[in-house]
Each structure stands twice: as structure tokens, then as C-alpha cells.
């Protein structure tokens, strides 16, 4: 992936495989379990918790709609000789970073929140997709953060 900055826009040049990886990983959103946002000791069945859960559900639904709209927008991805090009604004790029972070952290949680290096001997057909999503989301995040840093 190559990223160039043009004013408020960023120009991403990706190959076909990278484009498909990005689309596949974005479609996984959301992955952080809703109940995970508060520490267990702070969870309570009171009305403020219910309001927080509802607000989180609304935000996730809005983000999911935004992802679908972002990916389906005609002309979002423009075919080039080298692959594909797309140009998110700096606001869209920051939003994409938040979505990718949810996917990366949610995958880590689904892997059991390992503190140390993940024991690859524990990989199986249930855990492998979470490792894949965590690594792919992290790789895209790092490239986007480098672009923001300039």
C-alpha cells in the first residue's frame, strides 16, 4: 500500500489483494463485545448502564451503516494500472482507524486477551480467523497512522 497526502485528502494505492483484505476486514465490524466496554466491577443493572448500552448499540449500528455506505459508494475505488486507488478525507481516515481498532482489539479479546506472545500451537479453525483479523487490522492501522504522521 502506498499513501500520499493531497491537502485534506489521502490517496491510497493498493493492489487487488490489499483491497480485498481491507474490504474483508472492515466487514467484520464490530468485534468488541458490548459488555466488554466496562470493567466487570463497574457493571450494574441500573438505568445508566442501560442508557450506555443503548448508546453504544446505536453508535455501532451507525458505524456499520457508514462502513457499508463507504464501501458501496460508486467510484470509491478507482481502477488503476497498478491496482486500485481510493481517497478518504482526514476525517474518514480517522474514522477508519477507529473501526480498525475495534476489529483489532475485538479479535484480541476473542483470542483470550493474551498478555504475552500468542502461542501459535493453540491455533485452530476457531481461533485462526481472529488472529488473521487482528494482524490485518493492525497492519492497515500502522500504514494509516504513518500517513497521518506525514
| pLDDT score at 48 | 80
Residue 47 placed within a domain? no
Residue 42 placed within a domain? no
42-70 average pLDDT score: 84
What is the rounded distance in angstroms from the CA atom of residue 148 to the CA atom of residue 87?
A: 13
Residue 45 placed within a domain? no
Q: List the end-to-end C-alpha distance of the chain, in Å, as a whole number.
A: 15
What is the rounded distance in angstroms from the CA atom of residue 106 to the CA atom of residue 54?
A: 19
Residue 103 near residue 137 (C-beta atoms within 8 A): yes
Residue 114 placed within a domain? yes
What DSSP character marks residue 89? Answer: B
- Does residue 41 carry a pLDDT above 50? no
Domain containing 75 equals 2-37+52-149
| pLDDT score at 109 | 94
Residue 101: all three cell numbers together: 481498532
What is the rounded distance in angstroms from the CA atom of residue 84 to the CA atom of residue 105?
A: 28
Q: How many residues does the chain have?
A: 150
pTM score, whole prediction: 0.88
When divided into structural domains, the chain yields a total of: 1
Amino acid at each position: 500500500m502506498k499513501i500520499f497526502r493531497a491537502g485534506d485528502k489521502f490517496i491510497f494505492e493498493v493492489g487487488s489483494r490489499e483491497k480485498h483484505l481491507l474490504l474483508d476486514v472492515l466487514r467484520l465490524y464490530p468485534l468488541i463485545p458490548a459488555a466488554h466496554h466496562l470493567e466487570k466491577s463497574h457493571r450494574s443493572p441500573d438505568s445508566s448502564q442501560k442508557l450506555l448500552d443503548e448508546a453504544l448499540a446505536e453508535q455501532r449500528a451507525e458505524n456499520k451503516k457508514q462502513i457499508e455506505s463507504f464501501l458501496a459508494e460508486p467510484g470509491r475505488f478507482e481502477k488503476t494500472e497498478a491496482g486500485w486507488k481510493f481517497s478518504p478525507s482526514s476525517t474518514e481516515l480517522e474514522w477508519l482507524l477507529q473501526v480498525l481498532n475495534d476489529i483489532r482489539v475485538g479479535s484480541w479479546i476473542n483470542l483470550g486477551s493474551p498478555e504475552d506472545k500468542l502461542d501459535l500451537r493453540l491455533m485452530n479453525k476457531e481461533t485462526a480467523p481472529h488472529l488473521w483479523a487482528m494482524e490485518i487490522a493492525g497492519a492497515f492501522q500502522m500504514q494509516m497512522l504513518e500517513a497521518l504522521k506525514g
